Amino acid sequence: MTRRSALIDTRVIYCGDCLDQLAALPNHCVDLIYIDPPFNSNRNYEVFWGETKEKRSFEDRHASTQAYIEFMRPRCVQLARVLKETGSFYYHCDWHASHYVKVMLDQIFGENSFVNEIIWKRQSAHSDAKQGSKHLGRVHDTILLYAPGEDYYFKHLYKPYEDEYLEKFYRHVEPETGRRYQLGD
Ligand SMILES: C[S@@+](CC[C@H](N)C(=O)[O-])C[C@H]1O[C@@H](n2cnc3c(N)ncnc32)[C@H](O)[C@@H]1O
């Protein structure tokens, strides 16, 4: 049975703690959720933003990983509530808490709603594996994708191959149509 989705005004930016803001939204009204929340990095951040160099800061220190998870849990419960059955949910995190986040999200969305673990790999270790360090470079973030319904919206994005690639891997041309092809097993 498909649940009815509520409509909300999409021209509004809601500011404040997402826990309070989400509580005011109806069930199943959102198509796509991507969150880039604090990662449990045990740091506080200050960034200077935009042309006016406005100072923005947020705290990412928690008493423990469990405390971080208990901070995020009610917010993710609200996010799961507002997500449509055809919607999808992306949680961006990293090695600090990704394994604990996965378990929390399995509990909220259900293990069977887990779709993908997406690895966002950096080109370099950003000095994370400098001389003297006692670990390998931590070079990726993790994005966990959940979709509550089987019929969730998902579209692969394709773009044309570069000419150089086509010439190298699709060397044969069908005379009648001019279409390129490759020989394979
Ligand atoms: C890792 S940063 C994401 C930055 C953002 N994606 C960007 O590229 O500028 C985490 C963000 O979560 C925000 N945040 C922390 N706690 C929050 C809460 N309870 N409700 C809403 N936002 C929160 C912080 O203010 C911070 O901007």
Residue range 86-112, pLDDT digits in tens: 999 999 999 999 999 999 999 999 999
d(CA 90, CA 115): 10
Give start and end residues of each alpha helix (H) in 24-84: 65-82
Pocket test for ligand 1, best of 56, 58, 91 (most atoms within 8 A of CB): 58
pLDDT value for 51: 83
Can you identify the CATH homologous superfamily of domain 18-46+53-154? Vaccinia Virus protein VP39 (3.40.50.150)
Residue 148 Cβ < 6 Å to ligand 1: no
Q: Are 166 and 180 in contact (CB under 8 A)?
A: yes
The burial of 76, by beta-carbon neighbours within 10 Å (0-12 exposed, 13-18 middle, 19 or more buried), is given as: buried
- Please say if the pLDDT value at position 183 is more than 80: yes
| Protein residue closest via CA to atom 8 of ligand 1 | 36
Question: Which atom from ligand 1 is nearest to the alpha carbon of 17?
Answer: 20
First to last CA, the chain: 44
The predicted structure's pLDDT at residue 8: 86
Give the pLDDT band of residue 56 (cuts 50, 70, 90): confident
pLDDT at 84: 96
Two structure tokens written together for 116: 């993908």
Residue 6 has pLDDT above 90, yes or no: no
Ligand 1 contact via 35 beta carbon (within 6 Å): no
Reference 25, options 44, 12, 38; nearest CA is 12
Q: What is the largest CA-CA distance in the chain?
A: 69
> How far is the centre of ligand 1, averaged over its atoms, from the C-alpha of 155 (Å)?
27
Instruction: List, for residues 132-176, the tens digit of each pLDDT value.
Output: 999 999 999 999 999 999 999 999 999 999 999 999 999 999 999
The residue with tokens 């990704």 is 98
User: What pLDDT does residue 4 have?
Assistant: 66
Q: How far apart are CA 182 and CA 169, in angstroms?
A: 6
* DSSP secondary structure code for residue 150 in this structure: T
Residue-level pLDDT at 1: 53
Average pLDDT, the chain: 93
- Residue-wise pLDDT tens digits, 58-91: 888 999 999 999 999 999 999 999 999 999 999 9
pLDDT over 70 (residue 2)? no
d(CA 109, CA 80): 7
**Which ligand 1 atom lies nearest to the CA of residue 60?**
15
3-state secondary structure of 83: strand
Q: Is 17 in the pocket of ligand 1 (CB under 6 A)?
A: yes
- List phi, psi (to 5°) of 61: -115, 130
Please tell me the predicted confidence (pLDDT) of residue 49: 81
